[in-house]
A and B are shown apart, each in its own frame.
Chain A
Amino acid sequence: MFTQFFGNYLLNKQLVSPEHLCEAMQQLSTTRLKLGVLAINAGLLTAEQVDIVHDEQQRVDKRIGDIMVDMGFADSEQIEELFKTQPKGHLLLGQALVDNGYMTTAQFERALNSYKAENSLSDTDLSNSNEEAIRKMIKRFYNFNDTDSSRYMTSYLTLLFKNIIRFIGDDFTPLEPDMSAIKSVIENCVIQRIKGGLSAITLISADNNAEIEFASRFAKEQLSDNDEYTQACISEFLNLHNGLFAVNLSNDEGIELLLEPQEIYNNIKFEELINPVTIPVSFSMGLINFVIIL
């Protein structure tokens, strides 16, 4: 996930254009070797075991390597070795940008070093996707404070980005919260409310093409219209994400949440939402806006 936030850093420092970053992220996404493939190559897991691990990864908020260990397919030392052989995303992103002539190696080196320094990130944090370091980075990126509400928001967003990677893909760049990214009247959106130990509302909205592509990736089938089925796909992504958030809160803090059925709204007035935080996420398919009220 550092790769995606590092991409945002490069954008903000105007070291790359949004188009060049998008192109490099897509390249990275299609060429990066996944841990499952490396595990098969190393003879640690069979293809069937990797499928089982991938299925499980959609139901528990754990790193793929930890699931492989939990399921008894490998031990932690073997997974550590495997991690070492996996090329790191932020380095591959740099390589793609340099290879395409969008940055020089020296510019990339300077950018990476300043990014690490500004975010107090070590090489180990970047290599191991350290959970605490990710949370710290997200808290800093969105300027969250130390209130309970900010703590839950940090957890919610950390999981949201992980779920985007799990269910949609890793070729995205998170952008700063931006109220102007949302139209005053949202024509098409999916909403799910959470009640119980915590109240929250999440809304997903995008333009037609971005919604169709987001839904297609989630459903693993090419959709062509923004119809009821496309909206059902986006709804289910939201439901799975909120479900995992509820499981985490139940396991970690003993807080039980109740999810309400997802709803599809047309023409909702943005001004009617109370204290919304808008999280725009830029994909090659377009901008997807997550509006969260927590």
Chain B
Amino acid sequence: MTIQDLKVLICDDSMFVRRKMKDSLSALGVTKIFEASDGEKAVVKYAESNPDIVFMDIVMPVKTGVDALKDIKSIDPDAKVIMASSVGTQKNLKEAISEGAFDFLQKPINERDLLKMLEKAVK
């Protein structure tokens, strides 16, 4: 599988973040991109679209990214969920990893970060 074949789910309550990430993913050749604007919708979208990789914001309304991660892992223990937050503290990093996150990114996320994560996912 190449990174262009990946199905990617972007979960962030910020329309700005979703649009910028979508633009960057498109520039990398990814065409199968799904979006969710809160944690609850993220879980529903995951079940519907079965993505190869998920970028999940932590601070979101309705359901936090960490709670959505737990739900997704209960549906699919092999899910590759990358947690993203503007708060890149050791505490948040450790919590994300202990809940089964594939990796952790501190915002703002740029094209270089996305490429690194997509390459890691296809390995």
Where the two chains meet, the residues of B that have a C-beta atom closer than 8 Å to any C-beta of A are 13-17, 19-20, 59-61, 85-91, 106-108, 110, 112
**Residues in A neighbouring B108, C-beta threshold 8 A:** 55, 58-59, 236, 240
**Residues in B neighbouring A261, C-beta threshold 8 A:** 13, 59-61
Alpha-carbon separation in the docked complex, A242 to B86 (Å): 8
User: What interface size band does chain A fall in?
Assistant: 20 to 34
- Which one, A62-70, A172-180, A243-251, is touching chain B? A243-251
By the criterion CB–CB under 8 Å, are B89 and A247 in contact? yes
Where the two chains meet, the residues of A that have a C-beta atom closer than 8 Å to any C-beta of B are 52, 55, 58-59, 219, 228-229, 232-233, 235-236, 239-240, 242-244, 246-247, 250-251, 256-257, 259-262
A-B interface pairs (CB < 8 A), number: 64
- Interface of B, secondary structure class, is loop
By the criterion CB–CB under 8 Å, are B87 and A246 in contact? yes
Cβ 8 A contact of A236, one of B17, B85, B89, B112: B17
Pick the most buried of B59, B87, B89: most chain A CB atoms within 10 A of its CB: B87
Alpha-carbon separation in the docked complex, A59 to B84 (Å): 12
By the criterion CB–CB under 8 Å, are B14 and A236 in contact? yes
**Residues in A neighbouring B85, C-beta threshold 8 A:** 243
By the criterion CB–CB under 8 Å, are A260 and B14 in contact? no
Cβ 8 A contact of B87, one of A52, A55, A257, A262: A257
Cβ 8 A contact of A246, one of B13, B16, B17, B89: B89
